[in-house]
Amino acid sequence: MTAVSKRKKNKATGKPQAFRRHRATTTVYPLHAMASLPRTYRLIVSCPDRLGIVAAVSSFLAQHGGWIIEASQHADALAGWFFMRYEILAGSLTCEVAQLQQEFEPIARDFQMVWKLTDSAQPQRVVLLASRETHCLADLLHRWRSDELFCVIPCVISNHQGLRDFVEWHGIPFHWAPVKSADRTAAFGRIHQLLHEYQADTVVLARYMQILPPSLCDAYAGRIINIHHSFLPSFVGAKPYHQAYDRGVKLIGATCHYVTATLDAGPIIEQDVIRVSHRHSLEEIVRLGKDVEKTVLARGLRYHLEDRVLIHGNKTVILE
């Protein structure tokens, strides 16, 4: 096990106390990221569109006392598919959540739903992979330690040693997993095992400059999030800023997407751009792009952690 800072840590999220300024001195588990937000259950559903879905679900919830504090639906007319996300006040339910789930089964079956019910108080375990660039990692760690991003970060894995100090200062284990071209299989076998050991729910490639093997992409399908430093589908692959500079575009961008076996072609979660001009050198374009990358990645990851992203085919529905 890697050496880890010895400062006192919070049990739920493994976060050092130093930064936990919003917390009361005695916190009870489960701890919620935003002190002001109540605990909720999130019901996420997708199914073929047909009459009566909302009526069936909302009536079911009302019968169990479920107070809906946020509801979003989307009907994709072309695809004939329906998506919904209900955020239900945990304290309002008149039965245990296990019973709720059990009683929901017949409805789900009837409408051929793919569904899940998640607990806002159960933080996902998010393993971060990084290479040399620090901006995305530093940004995510700051959001995490200032309670802006609600998740557990069980460890950080990198193919370089440079980030160790900074990561460990946060009380997070750091794993050095070098990837040599001669031995990529072993290297990614080791990484896969680490993800397994740390029980990763989600993997974030925070400017991790290695292409994952298809087996890893498949094992964590819909759960590996990458930030690509271009406005996809422009400038796929290596050195997108160089490509953008050479083409003379007037805006550069970044794309947060799910990783699939096809490079930079997975479902897009979030994108944004920033204006550049002939005055900007390649170095300045790289610098300006970093601000977009970190914001877009943080936004995309937040959607994912709040169960707002539904994948359908190669596209996403973001239920804000």
Number of residues that bind its own copies (CB under 8 A): 75
Interaction between residue 52 and its own copies (CB under 8 A)? yes
Which residues fall within 8 angstroms of residue 281, CB to CB, at 6 or more apart?
A: none
* Closest to its own copies by CB, 39 or 142: 142
Answer for which of 15, 253, 259, 289 binds its own copies (CB under 8 A) is: 253
Give the angle 279-290-215 at the CA atoms, nearest 5°: 130
CB of 196 to its own copies, least distance (A): 30
- Sorted by sequence, the CB contacts under 8 Å of residue 246 that are 6+ apart come out as none
The answer to whether residue 239 forms part of the interface with its own copies (CB under 8 A) is no
Smallest gap, in angstroms, from Cβ of residue 51 to its own copies? 6
308 binds its own copies (CB under 8 A): no
Which residue stretch of 189-197, 202-210, 214-222, 286-294 sits at the interface with its own copies (rule: CB under 8 A)?
Answer: 286-294
Look up 139 and say whether it is catalytic: no
Q: Is 225 one of the binding residues for its own copies (CB under 8 A)?
A: no
- Contact with its own copies (CB under 8 A) among 264, 271, 297, 306: 271
Q: How far is the CB of 40 from its own copies (least distance, A)?
A: 12
Find the helix or strand (DSSP H, E) in which 186 lies. Answer: helix 184-197
CB 189, min distance to its own copies, A: 28
234: contact with its own copies by CB under 8 A: yes
Burial 63-95 (b: 16+ CB within 10 A, else e): ebebebeebeebeeeeeebbbbbbbbbbebbee
Distance CA 192, CA 213 (A): 10
Verify binding: residue 31, its own copies, rule CB under 8 A. Answer: no
314 binds its own copies (CB under 8 A): yes
Does 142 contact its own copies by CB under 8 A? yes
Non-local (6+) Cβ contacts of 164 within 8 A are: 158, 174, 176
Contact 250, 277 (CB under 8 A): yes
**Within a 10 A sphere around the Cβ of 21, how many other Cβ atoms?**
8
Contact with its own copies (CB under 8 A) among 1, 51, 98, 182: 51
Q: Which of 252, 129, 263, 110 is nearest to 192 (CA)?
A: 129
Q: Which of residues 61-120 bind its own copies (CB under 8 A)?
A: 61-62, 65-78, 92
Determine if residue 234 is left, alpha or beta; phi over 0 gives left, psi from -120 to 50 gives alpha, anything else beta.
beta
Contact between 162 and its own copies per CB under 8 A: yes
Among 139, 147, 201, 264, which one carries the catalytic annotation?
264
Catalytic residues: 264
